[in-house]
Amino acid sequence: MKFLQVFKRELRQLFLKDSKRACYLFGASVVYVVLFGLLYMTGVVNYVPMVVYDQDQTQLSRSLIQAYEDSDRYEVVAYVTSQEEMESYLQNKTAFAALAIPPDFARDIKLGRASRILLEANGANIIIANTIMSSAQEIMMEFSASVGKSLVETIGQLPDQSLNRAAPIDFRLRVLNNPILSYLEFFVLGVAMAALQQGILLSVGSSMTNENFEEFRDTKPVVMLLGKLIPYWLGGILSYVMALLIAVQGFGIPCRGSFISLVLIGAVFAATVAVMGSLMALICKDEVGFTQLSLSYTVPAFIYSGYTWPLHAMDSLSTALASVFPITYMAGNVRDIMLAGYAPMFYGDVFTLLAAGLVLFIIALRLYSRKAKLRISRDQTAVV
Amino acid sequence: MTFWQVAKKELQRMFIKERKIAMLLIGIPIIYSVLFGLVYKENAVKYMPTVVYDQDQTPLSRSLSQAFGDSERYNIVAYVQSQEEVEEYLREGRAEVAVVIPAKFTRDIKRGAGTEVLVVVDGTNLLFANSVISSAQEIVQTFSAGVGMNLIEAIGQMPNEALNKTVPIQFGVRILNNPTFAYSHFILAGIGAYGLQLGIMLAICTALNREYKRLNDWHGVSSIRLVLGKLFPYWAVGVAAFVIYMLIVVHIFNLPFKGSIISLMLSGAAFVLAVVAVGGLFSAAAPNEVYAVQLPMIYIMPALLFSGYIWPHLAMNEFSLAFSKILPLTYMADNVRDLMLSGYAPFLFRDIAILSVFSVVLLAVSTLIFAKRRSRYEQA
């Protein structure tokens, strides 16, 4: 068979005979972008239920509570009148944060004595805890500064000066590339890339494990392998572009970098994954086995890729393992190009993927030609 | 054959004839626990490469830089002399954080004009941003309070008084259940459960489906006995795998466990039963073995993220909440984490009840489907 014949044959299988391959190839990352776009659509955690235990009940304490009520991050769900009630709200997860204002709060402050507000938060879910930490401190600092300002005024300072003596060093945080800390922008892209990988793997696996190599008796191994893999490579690129388009147009995820760079790294990734899939197929008995292997592979590869937990925060064994996964060289770059407009490791990673893909392809060539020859010689001896 | 004979036959298949099944069932939760325990061992994103741009270069500004350097979270990689250098470091990924101290920092403070420290963090990976948020503000605030105190002392106030006037409202935050924001405490229980679910689903997919081709083996065995007998070993081994992964995260990765073991076992057993029931349903209903393992994918793979375990329910829209309600993991992962970190899971018994009902219904449906298809094949 010539290349075009192999290619067309594969297309027919992919779309007609075993069309679930097309579903996985084109569907996986698209479905995941939509699914997780919907999940993270809210973007940030707001309206954390909060319970208030105000033992002071003065204008000052009420204005402090008002500061929290005015904030989008919190939703005051109850005012309680005892410590036990407060603890019970937290324990039952009816509230995740509790604000406790001590008695004599206003009086102590006016007398120049310290007064201690307690914010208790349920820290089991770090995302909620982070939300509470980042917002509560801010609210408290603002409130405290304005109270302190009026206090220091009593020592006989002018208003502006007094504020600056009270809280002389202000702190400003600037978050580049994701200023509202939206999990939507952060997470959806990574998950879509993992799904892309899964879709390519499953479709290639299906192709390789169901192949009767008989038909390739008179075909050059390189022609066979290229003809079989290229449809999945092209389909993967198409699927990847579609997923990115949906992410940008459908969910408003920004794309601040060069589209060509995105396509380039997507193409190289898709090629390497397709070849990797063909190698994986060699060690699996059948399509069921291949599915089991590839499904087990996806999540660890994603976690180790450094996309979420950064590589430098892992130990050397883990980073060594991470270096073996193609997604390590791709997902973070896609995220950085889209959210930051630049990815420092881009060309190095593209090169690594390309080199890896090439090496894997050569190995696959050898192994598949041996496999085809074995089948032929076995059939011949069977005939005899 | 009796129920136990069916179960024993399946057990033999799992452990002897097709050992891959037992390996998936036990291996995946264990391997996932170990792999992810290793990744999150450090528990916080520490040693963030940080670049400092001190435009003031006074003892005061340097002690502020020192305050950052002393913190485990920040690893100062360079002191730079220009804005361009700051941007270069961030752009090239050589630093994730930049601390910028303005010129006239000390002078402005002394004059009472106030000043501002800018901390810049690359937000493309929210974990860096979170780590900065939970640490930078405190460092600056503490430093600021100390400075403010010195200032007002200069006007002739007693130190305590001075402190109370500068920061009159002391703000204590008490984080319950995970006071150190240890990431492994947050995530390991759930990832183990997810691995357990994956292992069960991958192992169980062929269990019922393959028998459609081998109905002669099952003459005289009722469909109920066949289905329940075959699925039972998956439940038993699944519970054993659950115990093993809990042992791993508690004893090897030092996760706390404050709750009752009985509650934990009930939750684990109910969860495994529900996953077995779901797997059994797909196995009974799928057209062939390949579909039996591939169809449930869209249902299993997103499970951890939709369960409310990471992205909380209170931040979900209606669609996500609805999807989350049909996933067994939703009714188990949070409870296990609560049992571990706080000792008490408010929704434990409600969720166990839901999982049990869910399991019974699905097992009944699986049996019905199996019986129907079986009679159809046997007639043909």
List of chain A residues whose C-beta atoms are within 8 Å of the C-beta of residue B35 = 300, 303-304
Query: Cα(B96)–Cα(B83) distance, rounded to whole angstroms?
Result: 15
CB contact under 8 A, B116 and A170: yes
User: Which residue in chain B has the smallest CA separation from A288?
Assistant: B290
pLDDT band at B246 (very low <50, low <70, confident <90, very high): very high
Strand order from edge to edge, sheet including B115-122 = A169-176, B115-122, B97-101, B48-54, B74-79
Instruction: List the single residue in A144, A165, A288 with the smallest CB-CB distance to B206.
Output: A288
Mean pLDDT taken over chain A: 87
Q: Between A109, A310, A318, which is nearest B38 by CB? A: A318
CB B83 within 8 A of CB B72: no
Q: Which residues of B touch A168 (CB under 8 A)?
A: 109, 112, 114-115, 144, 147-148, 151
Do residues A211 and A126 share a domain?
no
For residue A71, what is the domain's CATH number? 3.40.1710.10
pLDDT in tens, A281-299: 999 989 999 999 999 999 9
What's the mean pLDDT in A166-193? 73
Q: 10 Å Cβ neighbour count for B16?
A: 9
Over residues A26-48, the pLDDT tens digits come to: 999 999 999 888 888 877 888 99
Task: Please give the average per-residue pLDDT across B55-64, as a whole number.
Answer: 92
Are B83 and B53 in contact by the 8 Å Cβ rule? The answer is yes
Q: Which of B113, B117, B298 sits opposite A31 (nearest CB)?
A: B298
Question: Is residue B301 less than 8 Å (CB to CB) from chain A?
Answer: yes
A with B: how many residue pairs have Cβ under 8 Å apart? Answer: 340
CB B153 within 8 A of CB A187: no
Residues A34 and A57 in one domain: no
Contacts of A279 (CB under 8 A, 6+ apart): A360, A363, A364, A367
Do A344 and B302 lie within an 8 Å CB cutoff?
no
Identify whether residues A156 and A243 lie together within a single domain. Answer: no
- Residue A174 belongs to a domain: no
Partners of B167 on chain A (C-beta within 8 Å) are 144, 148, 166-167
Could you tell me if A97 and A35 lie in one domain? no
Q: Is A33 in the same domain as A59?
A: no
Overall pTM surpassing 0.90 (yes/no): no
* Rounded Cα–Cα distance for residues A2 and B308 (Å): 53
Highest average pLDDT, of A16-20, B116-120, B132-136, B350-354, comes from B350-354
Find the mean pLDDT for residues A101-109: 87
DSSP run (H or E) holding A174: strand A169-176
Domain boundary among A166, A191, A210: A166
A71 lies in some domain:
yes
Give B 195-234 residues with CB within 8 A of chain A: 198, 202, 205-206
Q: Which of B31, B144, B202 sits opposite A295 (nearest CB)?
A: B202
User: Which pLDDT does position B171 carry in this prediction?
Assistant: 67
pLDDT band at B161 (very low <50, low <70, confident <90, very high): low
Per-residue pLDDT tens digits for A306-351:
898 888 788 888 999 999 999 999 999 999 899 888 888 899 999 9
Lowest mean pLDDT among A142-146, A188-192, B29-33, B252-256: A142-146
Instruction: Give how many domains chain A has, as a whole number.
Output: 2
Quote the minimal CA–CA distance from B238 to chain A in Å: 17
Look at residues B74, B299, B336 and name the one whose alpha carbon lies nearest to residue B197: B299
Same domain assignment for residues A153 and A188:
no
Candidate from B41-50, B158-167, B270-279, B340-349 with smallest mean pLDDT = B158-167
**Number of other CB atoms surrounding residue B380 within 10 Å:** 5
Look at phi and psi of residue B156 and say left if phi exceeds 0, alpha if psi is from -120 to 50, else beta.
left
Interface test with B, best of A51, A169, A191 (most B CBs within 10 A): A169
Percent of chain B's residues with pLDDT above 90: 59
CB count within 10 Å of CB A39 equals 25
pLDDT exceeds 50 at position A158: no
Burial class (CB in 10 A: 0-12, 13-18, 19+), B59: exposed
Same domain, A252 and A355: yes
Q: Is the pLDDT of residue B328 over 60?
A: yes
CA-based end-to-end distance of chain B: 24
| Domain residue spans of chain B | 3-40+182-379, 48-166
| Residue B203 binned pLDDT confidence (cut-offs 50, 70, 90) | very high
Rounded percentage of chain A residues whose pLDDT exceeds 70:
89
Q: Do B93 and A31 touch (CB under 8 A)?
A: no
Q: Is B293's CB within 8 Å of A291's CB?
A: yes
For residue A137, CA distances in Å to A53, B135, B137 come to 18, 11, 8
Contacting B residues, span 125-164, partner chain A, CB-CB under 8 Å = 125-130, 132-134, 136-138, 140-141, 143-144, 147-148, 151-152, 155, 157, 161, 163-164
Separation of alpha carbons A4 and A272, rounded Å = 22
- Please check the confidence at residue A118 and state whether its pLDDT lies above 50: yes
Position B5, amino acid: Q
B202 vs A contacts (CB less than 8 Å): 291-292, 295-296
ipTM of the complex: 0.85
Average pLDDT, chain B: 88
Mean of pLDDT values over B25-47: 88
**Hey, are the CB atoms on B169 and A177 less than 8 Å from each other?**
no
Picking from B24, B317, B341, the nearest residue to A41 by CB comes out as B317
Segment B146-171 mean pLDDT: 61
Residues A253-267 have a mean pLDDT of: 94
What is residue A80's DSSP assignment? E
Secondary structure (3-state) at B51: strand
Same domain, yes or no, for A84 and A129? yes
The pLDDT of residue B370: 95
Test B123 with A175 for CB contact under 8 angstroms. Answer: yes
Measure in Å the smallest separation between the Cα of A291 and chain B Cα atoms. Answer: 7
Give residue B80's pLDDT. Answer: 95
Which residues of chain B are within 8 Å of residue A93 when distances are taken between CB atoms?
A: 346-347
Same domain, A378 and A252: yes
pLDDT for residue A106: 86
Going by pLDDT thresholds of 50, 70 and 90, the confidence category of residue A159 is very low
Rg (alpha carbons) of chain A, rounded to whole number: 30
Look at residue B160 in the predicted model and tell me its pLDDT. 55
- The verdict on A245 and A336 lying in the same domain is yes
The answer to whether position A360 is within a domain reads yes
Q: What is the pLDDT of residue A111?
A: 73
Q: Tell whether A302 is covered by a domain.
A: yes
- Out of A166, A190, A216, a domain closes at A166
What's the pLDDT score for residue A22? 94
Is residue B34 over pLDDT 70? Answer: yes
Which pLDDT value is given to residue B175?
A: 80
Q: Are residues A209 and A255 in the same domain?
A: yes
Same domain, A283 and A363: yes
Within the 44-103 window of chain B, which residues sit less than 8 Å (CB to CB) from chain A? 45-47, 49, 64, 90-94
Query: Which residue range is the domain that position A146 belongs to?
Result: 48-166
Instruction: Locate the chain B residue with the closest alpha carbon to A164.
Output: B114
Of B118, B141, B167, the CB nearest to A174: B118
- Average of per-residue pLDDT across B275-298: 93
- The CATH number of B48-166, from 3.20.20.450, 3.40.1710.10, 3.30.420.10, 3.40.190.10, is 3.40.1710.10
Q: What is the pLDDT of residue A216?
A: 83
**Average of pLDDT values for A68-78?**
92
Of A166, A193, A223, the residue that ends a domain is: A166
**B93-140 residue pLDDT tens:** 789 899 999 998 888 877 766 688 889 988 777 778 778 877 887 788
